[in-house]
Amino acid sequence: MGKPYIKLLETPLGKYFYDVNKNEIISVSEESYTILQSLLAADAPEHIAANAEIAFLHSRGYFSDNRVETIQHPLTDDLSYLLNRKVEKVTLQLTQQCNFRCSYCIYSDLNNEAQRSHSGEGLSLETAKHAIDFLWEHSVDTEKPNIGFYGGEPLLRFELLKQIVAYTEERFAGRPHTYTITTNGALLTDEIVDYLAEHDIPTMISLDGPKEIHDVSRRFAVNGCGSFDTVLRNIERIRERHPDYAKKISISMVMNPQHEYTCINQLFVDYDTFMDMTVSPSLIEDTYANERTIHSDLFVQQQQYASFLGYTSHLGLAKDVPEVFLTKSSVSQLAEKAKRMTPTQTLPPKTAPGGPCVPGQLRLFITVHGEFYPCERVSESSEVMNIGNLKDGFHLERARNLLNIGALTSEKCRDCWAFTSCHLCAKHADNQCELSGALKETFCEDVLANVEADLRNIILLQELSNSAILRRGRSCH
């Protein structure tokens, strides 16, 4: 048996290995675990005696040393079709202007030199109509295309937004379609809210925690004052004015890991306003930042404890456990990830690491100038991230390069146990001038830590679930 393509994992309750080819987590005895450690050692001898458990698992196809032969994204050959007929969403940059100056914003002069900064540039109605026409023509096989409104702050161009919706209703007459908008929430007047509710436009509002945390980062451009009170007041007014539409309001929460996790979560303790809303927490985006985000030890410890409470609550193991609302989405996502962890026979000869989406298909970002980018999270100043424009259409070769960034680091990727769970996309290889394998590799350590944490948490969920089953079994006697 050659060096197996596995990752060893242990918890206080057991020993495990993750088999990359099988995409399974398997529990083993301590003796087997020790043998597997020897097999994986850099100076492992050619032959190590296997015990009965390892021999049995090996006979069932586990511990294979099979690696992918060719790094190529499985949708490479379908790229032309997907971009010509199956675009699912366009995100329109209505303006590059914003009424906020958030300290971590990707358009901050202080924090992200690689990005553009805020400006007075705005989308013209003519360009917007061209974008809607483009979506119509390139979403023939999409069941329900989506138009997203983005900025800067999109509600600074509310009149343009209404004109775009009117044109879209005309262009897509009789064809299902949807809208979304991402806003900082400060400009949600009664008129605007009535319009969004009438046209069924789900709204994502940015809110980063309770007042003392939110106001540190999210400040008005005109006077530098915090925005929490304004945003809270607007959300509460939406609930009063349109209670049904309020169910379509979601919260985007950017967490600064220098704050305490429990302090961020205090928002949901202090205000019932948010308890039935979908909350999407994320960490400060630092891919293009001058410096990487630093996590305080206390943030990490509190987050881990909150997750544990979330798992016990999810499995119904404990009563009167203090609920940490902030963990709800992550616990649900992990449970879904565990369900979707479908066992396989082996890795195919040709495939790619798990990170890249199809550039431009899922959330094509169209700037005020009609330029195309894979999504709104990449640099608009980068030539390599530009995948076309409204005049010329898609640059397929550029999109193909972004889709296949795994080829930049093929040898390292082929031997990486996190191959199928990697979440690195092209922005992690973007140095503004070219796609860099060396730059991409600087993110690998974080990926390995995150994937290992996910696997350990999946194991924890299973261990807690087994404990619940055992306790229920005992209570029956």
Identity of the residue numbered 449: A
- Asked if residue 171 and residue 299 are part of one domain, the reply reads yes
- Mean pLDDT in order along the chain per 10 residues (477 residues): 89 95 97 94 74 95 95 97 98 96 79 72 98 98 98 97 98 97 97 97 96 96 96 96 95 94 92 89 84 87 90 79 78 88 93 91 97 95 96 97 96 95 94 94 95 94 75 47
- Asked if residue 7 and residue 98 are part of one domain, the reply reads no
- Asked if residue 39 and residue 123 are part of one domain, the reply reads no
User: Collapsing DSSP states into helix, strand and coil, what is residue 472?
Assistant: helix
With contact defined as beta carbons under 8 Å apart, do 275 and 325 qualify? Answer: yes
The reported pLDDT for the residue numbered 287 is 83
The reported pLDDT for the residue numbered 166 is 98
Rounded Cα distance between 190 and 241, Å, is: 8
- Asked if residue 121 and residue 261 are part of one domain, the reply reads yes
Rounded Cα distance between 179 and 219, Å, is: 27
- Asked if residue 82 and residue 39 are part of one domain, the reply reads no
The reported pLDDT for the residue numbered 111 is 59
The answer to the question of residue 262 being in a domain is yes
Which of these three, 277, 310, 343, is where a domain ends?
Answer: 310
The answer to the question of residue 347 being in a domain is no
Task: Annotate 11-39 with DSSP letters as a single string.
Answer: ETTEEEEEETTTTEEEEE-HHHHHHHHHH
The answer to the question of residue 37 being in a domain is yes
The reported pLDDT for the residue numbered 124 is 98
With contact defined as beta carbons under 8 Å apart, do 361 and 83 qualify? Answer: yes
- Asked if residue 85 and residue 145 are part of one domain, the reply reads yes
Structurally, the chain folds into a number of domains equal to 2
Rounded Cα distance between 437 and 399, Å, is: 17
The reported pLDDT for the residue numbered 444 is 96
The reported pLDDT for the residue numbered 421 is 94
Which of these three, 44, 66, 88, is where a domain ends?
Answer: 66
Range of the domain at 306: 76-310
- Asked if residue 206 and residue 91 are part of one domain, the reply reads yes
The reported pLDDT for the residue numbered 392 is 97
The reported pLDDT for the residue numbered 110 is 58
Chain centroid, CA 401 distance in Å: 21
The reported pLDDT for the residue numbered 476 is 44
